[in-house]
């Protein structure tokens, strides 16, 4: 393994690659293209009737949207995250930090101070399970406190790490680490992937230790294997090229977790409000969008972030209207048709399988 990294340099690489580089999945989609709503031509609703409020990690949101984890740990991230959090506060949805590993290893708070511009926003912290294993609960609780987070995402990223030039190769003890934090951290723990999705089998293991919140971060959007492949050389770059498209598509991950009673944030290739509406209809509580917000900020600053967020919320409302759904609970039961690409991922005994039509 390589010597340990300059973490700030890696975080800067991540911002550049996620903004400008070819780091999307090559062939695999997030499978929301395999989901269709059944149009309701007589919804008997006005757009103003639609209630988009949702709840996640103990906080009420005005819309089922989270700006998903991507940035932190470098001075450039500070302005980006403050703008993203400002929009989240103003429009009433959630915001997630990128990995807070620099707060543990380098005592860096760059990019992790947004509470002054987002006093009521749902803010999600973020740490890798390997780093969480190595840290005390006290240190992690202090990290959460300093950054003003309401909950802590513990990310699972083995595919990303084995390609990353400075990455970890030992993922033992992850379940025990999560169990420790669920029992002792004092804030909600959200288990998330980083672009490869979470299966039903993993979901069952997490449910057994008391996890309530899942962020799918499924395949079909930004491939973090691809991000690290762009940074890697030699054998790791070759391995990354082979596993570029590895993972469970986002819609399939939401479907896999059907019936396990998680509160789910569907992230992974989410582009618009229609995808979020489809995720809610499959069983998610909220949807997370990451790279499009980073790109909108790079192109047009905070105004670009406002424009994208307002459009996404409007699209959720239109999807609700066109399915005759007055609120997000009704949207969660809206009639759907899925094609065989998604249907084959469904657990046969799940309530979702019984509801859906092929």
- Look up residue 167 and give its two tokens: 């990455």
- Look up residue 235 and give its two tokens: 């054998």
pLDDT band at 4 (very low <50, low <70, confident <90, very high): very low
What CATH number corresponds to the domain at position 14?
Answer: 3.20.20.70
* 1 within some domain: no
Provide the whole-model pTM. Answer: 0.92
Angle at 354 between CA 336 and CA 195, to 5 degrees: 65
184: which residues sit within 8 A by CB, 6+ positions away? 137
- The mean per-residue pLDDT over the stretch 67-75 comes to 73
- Do 157 and 101 form a contact (C-beta atoms < 8 A)? no
Q: How far is CA 271 from CA 81, 223, 237, in A?
A: 19, 15, 28
* 101 within some domain: yes
Angle at 33 between CA 30 and CA 36, to 5 degrees: 130
Positive or negative, the CA dihedral 200, 201, 202, 206 is positive
* 66 within some domain: yes
Instruction: Tell me how far apart the alpha carbons of residues 50 and 39 are, in angstroms, rounded to a whole number.
Output: 16
Instruction: Tell me how far apart the alpha carbons of residues 157 and 129 are, in angstroms, rounded to a whole number.
Output: 8
pLDDT band at 1 (very low <50, low <70, confident <90, very high): very low
The domain containing residue 108 runs over which residues? Answer: 7-355
Burial class from Cβ neighbours inside 10 Å (0-12, 13-18, 19+) for residue 41 reads exposed
* 2 within some domain: no
Q: Tally the domains of the chain.
A: 1
Instruction: Tell me how far apart the alpha carbons of residues 109 and 90 are, in angstroms, rounded to a whole number.
Output: 23
* 268 within some domain: yes
pLDDT band at 196 (very low <50, low <70, confident <90, very high): very high
* 118 within some domain: yes
- Do 23 and 240 form a contact (C-beta atoms < 8 A)? no
Angle at 58 between CA 53 and CA 63, to 5 degrees: 20
Residue with tokens 């990294």: 5
pLDDT tens, 123-159? 999 999 999 999 999 999 999 999 999 999 999 999 9
Buried b / exposed e over 218-245, threshold 16 CB at 10 Å, is bbbbbbbbbbbbbbbeeebbebbeebbe
- Do 57 and 285 form a contact (C-beta atoms < 8 A)? no
What residues pair up with 154 in beta bridges, in sequence order?
Answer: 127, 191
């Amino acid at each position: 393994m390589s010597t340990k990294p300059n973490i700030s340099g890696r975080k800067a690489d991540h911002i550049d690659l996620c903004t400008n580089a070819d780091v999307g999945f090559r062939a695999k989609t997030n499978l929301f293209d395999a989901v269709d709503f059944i149009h309701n031509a007589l919804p008997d609703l006005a757009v103003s009737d639609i209630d988009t409020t949702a709840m996640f990690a103990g906080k009420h949101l005005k819309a089922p949207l989270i700006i998903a984890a991507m940035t932190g740990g470098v001075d450039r991230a500070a302005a980006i995250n403050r703008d993203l959090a400002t929009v989240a506060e103003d429009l009433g949805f959630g915001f997630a930090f990128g990995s807070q590993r620099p707060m543990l290893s380098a005592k860096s708070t760059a990019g992790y101070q947004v509470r002054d511009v987002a006093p009521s926003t749902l803010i999600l912290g973020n740490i890798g399970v390997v780093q969480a294993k190595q840290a005390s609960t006290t240190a992690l609780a202090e990290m959460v406190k300093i950054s003003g987070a309401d909950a802590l995402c513990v990310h699972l990223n083995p595919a990303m790490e084995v390609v990353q030039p400075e990455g970890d190769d030992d993922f033992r003890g992850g379940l025990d680490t999560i169990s420790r934090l669920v029992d002792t951290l004092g804030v909600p723990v959200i288990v998330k992937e980083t672009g490869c999705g979470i299966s039903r089998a993993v979901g069952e293991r997490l449910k057994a230790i008391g996890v309530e919140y899942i962020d799918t971060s499924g395949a079909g959007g930004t491939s973090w294997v691809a991000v690290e492949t762009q940074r890697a050389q030699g054998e790791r770059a070759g391995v990354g090229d082979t596993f570029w498209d590895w993972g469970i598509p986002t819609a399939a991950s939401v479907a896999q977790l059907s019936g396990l009673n998680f509160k789910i944030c569907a992230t992974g290739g989410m582009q618009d409000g229609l995808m979020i509406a489809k995720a809610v209809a499959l069983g998610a509580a909220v949807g997370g969008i990451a790279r499009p917000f980073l790109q909108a900020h790079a192109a047009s600053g905070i105004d670009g972030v406002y424009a994208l967020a307002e459009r996404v919320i409007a699209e959720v409302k239109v999807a609700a209207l066109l399915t005759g759904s007055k609120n997000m609970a009704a949207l969660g039961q809206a009639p759907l048709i899925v094609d065989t690409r998604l249907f084959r991922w469904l657990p046969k005994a799940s309530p979702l399988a019984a509801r859906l039509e092929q």
